[in-house]
Amino acid sequence: MREEKKSPSQKDKQTKKKNWLWPAVYSGIAIVFVGMVWGYSALVKNDAPELTDGTMGGDSDNGELVVETNASKEVLKYPFSEELLDDVAILQNYYDLEAEESVQENSLLVFNQTYETSTGVSISIDDQPFEVVAAATGVVEEVVTDVFQGDEVIISHADGMKTVYSSLSGVLVKKGEEVTQGEPLGNASANEWNPNAGTHLHFQVLVNDEPVNPGSYLGF
């Protein structure tokens, strides 16, 4: 007896429809999600800042001095070994218009019977030579040889700051050289410009080429 072929019921049709509908929905969602991830990755890549080669400083292609600014920001340290801190004497202060009168008087330099205001601090350690070190990492912008005032080293740092070390002898660094915080620069010495100070270091801090009080950064 021949078997009678049955037509599919409505329930079977609905079951088959469900079997292909949900995989199609899932596939569509997956394609949209992958497209969103790819688009976001491309956007982040285009907006990301170009990284430098990791060098701290040096000369750019047009000959200008370059100081790296994406390095970790350092805190300015004393321009001498902190082991000597207890023996340090400040011979002249930075001249501050808002300072007490006694401090202002101590901030005046006398030369050829004229007064000049101090744009830094004059540091002495028992009138003895001591090693002067870089207060922060940077690039040597200038080395000035001056028999009358003593040699001078100017270091450029990030954020427009410079530190100046005057009344030096035996300078150990050169223009354009990279120096790290605490690296020796030379020795404090006496000079004819300020003979009353004896052996000392005249230390200045410049922000945008304007002198500021080093005491704002250090405990002088």
pLDDT in tens, the chain (220 residues): 444 444 445 444 454 444 555 555 455 555 555 455 455 455 444 444 443 344 445 555 555 555 554 445 789 999 999 999 999 998 888 866 566 666 656 656 665 656 666 788 999 999 999 999 999 999 999 999 998 889 999 999 988 899 999 999 999 999 999 999 999 999 999 998 888 889 999 999 999 999 999 988 998 7
Q: Residue 205: give its domain's CATH number.
A: 2.70.70.10
User: ∠ CA 203-124-153 to the nearest 5 degrees?
Assistant: 30
Asked if residue 2 belongs to a domain, the reply is: no
pTM over 0.75: no
Asked if residue 55 belongs to a domain, the reply is: no
How many domains does one find in the chain?
1
Nearest to 122 by CA among 75, 88, 98, 96: 88
Asked if residue 166 belongs to a domain, the reply is: yes
- Local structure of residue 2 (DSSP, 8 states): P
- Other C-beta atoms closer than 10 Å to the C-beta of 216 total 12
User: ∠ CA 220-203-186 to the nearest 5 degrees?
Assistant: 120
Asked if residue 9 belongs to a domain, the reply is: no
In the three-class reduction of DSSP (H, G, I as helix; E, B as strand; rest coil), residue 112 is classed as: coil
**Domain region containing 163:** 82-91+120-210
Dist. CA 215–CA 211, nearest whole Å: 12
Nearest to 132 by CA among 197, 201, 65, 192: 201
